[in-house]
């Protein structure tokens, strides 16, 4: 299967969770908006095509299927890319963990946009400072302790006992958080040895390492979800 991935061309964003799965599996895919421009993608949001309407990127074309919602795309890709264990109960657990990652990603986004996605960061900076403080003190520790416990309960290496798309997504989550909140993550990370080790292992997987070193991996930047604004991190 040759896949077509649709996601904004200038950021890693939510598309990166799908991209990492495709790259780690060595699956052939076109990154449509990066190759042909965002406008080609936006036509699908406007509904010029037949079939299901996506609300937002990322979405994936896989043969006749058009699939939206990051976790849902990974749920679909898991079996053909060998990125999820075979049983129904494991697929459900993978999806449960992926959706919990997605919840945290949404909270990270809102830490720099607590009032409105349609406003600039600068128009909601003081609210962002308050929300980011709660994220660093309450939410990040709660979510990351949870994932650390999940790893502990599954033997320490993989949340699903075997490599899966959840490992890749936890790598991306930790990478983004360390980019956005380097000081807070240094503090919180001391309690997360299993998550930090998982992140290192994923980074060393041959296809992931090759991808990260390639121009296909966009750098984190301040248009994406994980943004580094020093005033939103722990005080120096």
d(CA 188, CA 207): 29
Q: Between 114 and 143, how does the x/- string for binding to a second copy read (CB under 8 A)?
A: xxx-xx-------x--xx--x---x----x
Of 133 and 212, CB closest to a second copy? 133
CB of 214 to a second copy, least distance (A): 30
Ranges within 167-196 binding a second copy (CB under 8 A) = none
Residue 176 Cα distances to 51, 67, 76, 182, 203, angstroms: 34, 25, 24, 10, 13
Per CB under 8 A, the list member of 28, 89, 190, 215 interacting with a second copy is 89
- Our finding on whether 106 is near a second copy (CB under 8 A) is yes
Pairing of strands 29-31, 3-6: parallel
CB of 163 to a second copy, least distance (A): 18
9: exposed, middle or buried (C-beta count within 10 Å: 0-12, 13-18, 19+)? middle
d(CA 132, CA 114): 9
CB of 171 to a second copy, least distance (A): 19
Of 96-104, 172-180, 186-194, 212-220: span binding a second copy (CB under 8 A):
96-104
Of 9 and 69, CB closest to a second copy? 69
**CB neighbours (10 Å) of residue 155?**
10
CB of 223 to a second copy, least distance (A): 19
Of 19-27, 60-68, 172-180, 183-191: span binding a second copy (CB under 8 A):
60-68
Q: Is the dihedral of CA 196, 216, 83, 74 positive or negative?
A: positive
Per CB under 8 A, the list member of 40, 65, 186, 209 interacting with a second copy is 65
7: exposed, middle or buried (C-beta count within 10 Å: 0-12, 13-18, 19+)? buried
129: exposed, middle or buried (C-beta count within 10 Å: 0-12, 13-18, 19+)? middle
CB of 213 to a second copy, least distance (A): 33
Nearest alpha carbon to residue 21 among 92, 74, 87 = 74
- Our finding on whether 146 is near a second copy (CB under 8 A) is yes
- Our finding on whether 53 is near a second copy (CB under 8 A) is yes
CB of 50 to a second copy, least distance (A): 9
Per CB under 8 A, residues contacting a second copy are: 47, 52-55, 64-65, 67-69, 71-72, 75-76, 89, 92-93, 95-96, 99-100, 103, 106, 110, 114-116, 118-119, 127, 130-131, 134, 138, 143, 146, 149-150, 153
């Amino acid at each position: 299967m040759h896949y077509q991935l649709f996601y904004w061309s200038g950021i890693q964003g939510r598309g990166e969770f799908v991209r990492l799965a495709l790259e780690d599996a060595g699956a052939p895919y076109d990154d449509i908006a990066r190759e042909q421009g965002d406008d080609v993608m936006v036509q699908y949001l406007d509904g010029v095509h037949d079939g299901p309407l996506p609300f937002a990127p990322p979405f994936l074309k896989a043969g006749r299927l058009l699939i939206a919602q990051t976790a849902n795309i990974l749920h679909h890709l898991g079996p053909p890319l060998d990125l999820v264990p075979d049983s129904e109960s494991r697929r459900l657990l993978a999806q449960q963990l992926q959706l919990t990652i997605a919840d945290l990603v949404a909270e990270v986004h809102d830490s720099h946009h607590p009032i409105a996605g349609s406003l600039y960061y600068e128009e909601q900076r003081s609210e962002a400072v308050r929300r980011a403080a709660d994220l660093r003190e309450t939410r990040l520790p709660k979510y990351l302790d949870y994932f650390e416990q999940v790893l502990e309960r599954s033997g320490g290496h993989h949340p699903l006992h075997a490599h899966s798309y959840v490992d890749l997504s936890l790598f991306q989550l930790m990478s983004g958080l360390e980019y956005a909140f380097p000081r807070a993550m240094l503090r919180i990370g001391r309690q997360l040895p299993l998550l930090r080790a998982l992140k290192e292992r994923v980074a060393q997987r041959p296809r992931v390492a090759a991808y990260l070193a390639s121009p296909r991996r966009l750098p984190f930047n301040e248009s994406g979800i994980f943004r580094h604004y020093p005033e939103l991190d722990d005080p120096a």
